[in-house]
């Protein structure tokens, strides 16, 4: 049985307050998300992005193996043309710390879908075999074909496409716990 209070205290201790529990089996997986990765994302082909990820169908099956999860929303006022890389790296490290603490508390299947494409190394070799930090690199929800907008909306979290610049950006991380 998951002690939600204990897990929430770990998350809050790391500075995150905007999160909601979800049933991972209700995560919306869609082929259009994968197509947007292939045609439109500058990170396509890098270590934790397609084609270095499971197929869309395999991703859908993966989420069915979990009964509990959290969507964590991160917000930052930023200029789209000057992505806040230092902030994103700090958030990634905090999220990985959360995953580790939950693992050590007895949840061996805990898995983080990071709030952004893996950017741990400045010189990514572009494939999983040559990854320099395999133990910490994590895929984003989008690289696992998650329709982040629909999944967040279904969980009661409102996010929208950023149409003005600079603006408040929303990043979504998903933490799967079993």
Evaluate if residue 118 carries a pLDDT over 90. Answer: no
pLDDT digits (tens, 9 = 90+) for 62-73: 999 999 999 999
Asked if residue 60 has pLDDT above 70, the reply is yes
Q: Are 42 and 126 in contact (CB under 8 A)?
A: no
Mean pLDDT, residues 27-52: 92
Nearest to 175 by CA among 113, 89, 118: 113
The domain locations on the chain are: 4-177
For 82, phi and psi rounded to 5 degrees? -140, 70
């Amino acid at each position: 049985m998951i002690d939600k209070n204990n897990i929430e205290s770990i998350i809050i201790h790391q500075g995150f307050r905007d999160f909601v529990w979800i049933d991972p089996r209700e995560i919306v997986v869609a082929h259009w998300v994968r197509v947007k990765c292939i045609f439109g994302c500058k990170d396509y082909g890098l270590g934790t992005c397609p084609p270095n990820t499971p197929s869309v169908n395999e991703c859908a099956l993966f989420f069915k193996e979990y009964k509990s999860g959290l969507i964590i929303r991160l917000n930052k006022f930023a200029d789209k043309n000057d992505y806040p890389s230092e902030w994103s790296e700090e958030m990634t490290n905090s999220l990985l710390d959360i995953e580790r603490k939950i693992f050590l508390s007895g949840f061996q299947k805990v898995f983080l879908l990071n709030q952004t494409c893996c950017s741990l190394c400045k010189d990514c070799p572009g494939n999983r075999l040559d990854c320099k930090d395999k133990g910490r690199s994590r895929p984003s929800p989008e690289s696992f074909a998650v329709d982040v907008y629909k999944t967040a909306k279904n969980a009661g979290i409102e996010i929208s496409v950023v149409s003005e610049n600079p603006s408040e950006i929303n990043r979504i991380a998903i933490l799967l716990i079993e």
